[in-house]
Structure 1
Amino acid sequence: MGMQVNTNVAANNAYRNLSTTQNELSKSLEKLSSGLRINRAADDAAGLAISEGLKSQVGGLTVASRNAQDAVSVIQTAEGSLNEVTSILQRMRDLAVQAGNDSNSVESRAAITTEATALTEELTRLAESMNFNGKDLLNGGALSFQIGANSLDQISVDLADVGAIADILKTSPAGGKFAVADAALVAGTLAFDVVNPDSTVTTITTASFTAGDVNTVDQLAAALNSDSQFSGNLTATVDAGALVVKSKTGATVDLTAPGTGIAAGAVVGTSAGLDFSTAAGAATAISTITTQIQTVSSSRASLGADQNRFESVIKNLSVSKENLTAAGSRIRDTDMAEEMVKYTRANILSQAGTAMLAQANQSNSGVMQLLQ
C-alpha cells in the first residue's frame, strides 16, 4: 500500500463511523431525557400515527367520563324533584278519597279544593323552576349525553312532563265555562242558575247590559266582578277566550244568556281538571290522580335505570381509558433499560471512534521521515 498525504482513507473511515455513532448517541440522549421513543415522525412514522389516534381516544374518553358523571347528577336532581312530586300527588289522592265521602259539608269540600289547588300550583312551580345549569328538568323533552370519544356515542334521557301533569290536575270547582262569540253583543241581564249540593237552584241576575258596554271577554269578566249581585255569590275569570264563572260555595253554575254574545247553557270544559264538590267528582279525581302517580313512578323508574346505565358507562370508560393509555405507552414511550444499553454502547463507540480517528490522523506522519 502506498503512502499518500492528500487522502487519508483510514481517517475518513474512522470519521464516518464516528459520525454515525454520534448521531445514535444524540438520539439516545433525546429519548432518555424526554422519556419518549417517538419524538418526531422520523423516529417511527406509523407508530406516531397510531399513538396520536390513541391519544385522541384517551382524551375523548376522559371528557366522556365527566359527561357521564354530569348525567348522573342531572338524573339525581330530576329524580329527587319527582320524589316530591309523588308526595304531592299522594296527598292530592288522599284529599280526593276524603272528598268522596258525602259526610262532607259544602265548606269542607271547599277547604279540600283550596288545598288541592295550592298543591297543583306547587306542581306548576316545580315544573317551571327545576333546572340543572339552565336546563329544564320537569317540563318534558329529552337530554342527550355524549358518553364516548366518537360522534355516535350518545345516550338520550327522557324527562317527565310535570307541567302537563299539573295542567291535568288543575282543580275545577263546580262552575261554568262559557263560550263567548262576541262580548260586544251582550245585552240585557245575565241570569246564572246556581245548582246547590242539595239540588236547590238559586238564580243570580246581573245589572242590565247594553250592547257595546263591553268589547272583550276580559272587560266582560271585569264588569261581572264589579256587579254587586254577581260578586256576592260568583267570580268571573277568563280562560283561553272563554268566560269562567264559579260559585263561591262550590255549586254548579249554568247560564241563560241574553243577546247572541254568549252561548246560553253551553258549558265548555266543565269536565277538565279535578272536581271535589261531589262524591262522583271525587271518584273521578281519585282515578285521574292515580294515573298521574303511575306516570311519575314510571318516569322515576326510567331515570333510575338510566342512572344505573350511566354508572356502568363510567366504569367501562375507566377500563377503556386505562387499556388505551397502556397501548399508547407501549408505542410511544421509551423503554429506559433498553435505551440505556444503546446509549452505553454508543458512548463507548464514540470514545473509541474518537481515539481511532486521532490514530488515523497520525498514520501518515511517517512521510516526514522520508523528507528529512
Structure 2
Amino acid sequence: MRINTNVGALTASRNIFVNQMATEGSMRKLSSGLRISRAADDAAGMSIANKLRTQSRSLNQAAANAEQGNAMLQIAEGAAQTIQRILERQKELVTQKLNGTSSSTTTDTVESEIGKLSAEVERIINITTFQGSSVFGSLAFQVAEQDSDGTVTIDAGLAVADVSLADSASLQDVDDAMDAINETLANIGAGQNVLDYVTQNLKSTVVNLRAAESTIRDVDMAEEMATFTKNNILQQAAQAMLSQANQGAQGVLSLLR
C-alpha cells in the first residue's frame, strides 16, 4: 500500500476536471442557444457560419435596395400618370380649337391653357425626385452582393421635349407625346415587375442561408440537455470516487496499530 501517490484519487480528480469542463460547456451552449459560442467549439464551423451570416446580411441589403427602387418607380409612375392626364386634356383642347365654329377668342383661350399645361408638365418632370435624384432617367439598382451582374437597370427616361406641347400643337403632336408617356409607363411597369421578382428571390435566398447557418451555429437543445445531464452525473460520480479513493488510504493506519 502506498500513501505518497494516491493514483485512484488523482484519476478521480482528473475525471472531475474533465467532466466539469464538459458540464460548463453544455451550460454555455444551453444558456446561449449556440452550438458554437466561441471559436474553440468548432473553428471550421464558425468560419463557414460567419460567411453565411455575412452573405445573408448583404443579400438583405440588396433586397432593401430593390424595395427602395420599387418605391422610386411608384413615384415615377404617379408623376407619369399625371402627365398622361394632362396630355388627354390637351388633346381635348386641340380638338376643340380645330372645330370650325371656334372663334379667335376661343382659340386664344385654348392655346393659353395648352401652354400653361405644358409648363406644368415640364415642372412635374423637373421636380419629381427620390432622395434628390430624378425619377425619370436610366435608373440602376444594386440587387446582388457581386459587382458583376448585380445591377438591375430600368429605362424610365422621359424628356421634357417629348411631352411638352407648343401652344399651336396639332393632334399628331399630342399623339406623339401620348406615345412617349405610354412608353415610359410601360418601362416603369416592367421595371416594377422585375424588382418584385428580384425581392422575392432575395428574401427566399436569405431564409435558406439563415437556415444553413442555423444548422451549423445553433445548438440542438434536446441533444445538448442530454449531454449536460450525462456530464453532470459523471461529475458527481467522480466526486464520490475521489472520496472513496481518499478513504482507501486510511487503511494504512490499521497497520500501525
- Give the TM-score, by structure 1 length: 0.65
- The one of 136, 142, 146 aligned to 2:142: 146
Show the counterpart of 1:317: 202
Show the counterpart of 1:65: 63
The letter for the 1-side match of 2:240 is: A
Show the counterpart of 1:350: 235
Show the counterpart of 1:269: none
Matched, 1:287 2:172: yes
Secondary structure of the residue aligned to 1:364 is helix
Matched, 1:337 2:231: no
Matched, 1:303 2:203: no
Show the counterpart of 2:23: 25
Matched, 1:83 2:81: yes
Q: Deviations over 1:4-33 (max 9, x none)?
A: 221111111111222111111111111111
- The one of 101, 112, 124 aligned to 1:114: 112
- The one of 109, 117, 125 aligned to 1:127: 125
1:251-262 matches, cutoff 5 A? none
The letter for the 2-side match of 1:86 is: Q
1:93 to partner: Cα distance: 2.3
1:99 to partner: Cα distance: 3.3
Contact 1:143 1:156 in 2 (8 A): yes
Show the counterpart of 2:157: 160
Distance 1:163 1:40 in 2: 61
1:89 to partner: Cα distance: 1.4
Identity in percent: 38
Secondary structure of the residue aligned to 1:5 is coil
Secondary structure of the residue aligned to 2:250 is coil
Distance 1:353 1:370 in 2: 28
Contact 1:131 1:137 in 2 (8 A): yes
Distance 1:170 1:327 in 2: 62
Secondary structure of the residue aligned to 1:143 is strand
1:371 to partner: Cα distance: 2.9
- The one of 92, 114, 127 aligned to 2:90: 92
Q: Which runs of 5+ in 2 are unaligned?
A: none
The letter for the 2-side match of 1:320 is: T
- Give the TM-score, by structure 2 length: 0.91
Higher fraction of helix:
2
Contact 1:146 1:155 in 2 (8 A): yes
The letter for the 2-side match of 1:38 is: I
Secondary structure of the residue aligned to 2:106 is helix
Secondary structure of the residue aligned to 2:246 is helix
1:199-278 matches, cutoff 5 A? 275=168
Contact 1:160 1:296 in 2 (8 A): no
Distance 1:60 1:367 in 2: 71
Q: Deviations over 1:213-265 (max 9, x none)?
A: xxxxxxxxxxxxxxxxxxxxxxxxxxxxxxxxxxxxxxxxxxxxxxxxxxxxx
Secondary structure of the residue aligned to 1:156 is strand
- More displaced, 87-96 or 17-26? 87-96
Q: Deviations over 1:138-187 (max 9, x none)?
A: 4xx222222234444221222232423355x233xxxxxxxxxxxxxxxx
- The one of 204, 213, 216 aligned to 1:328: 213
Question: Which one scores higher on RCO, CA 8 angstroms, separation ≥ 6?
Answer: 2
Distance 1:323 1:119 in 2: 52
Higher fraction of strand:
1
1:85 to partner: Cα distance: 0.6
The letter for the 1-side match of 2:140 is: S
Distance 1:160 1:86 in 2: 15
Q: Which runs of 5+ in 1 are unaligned?
A: 172-274, 276-281
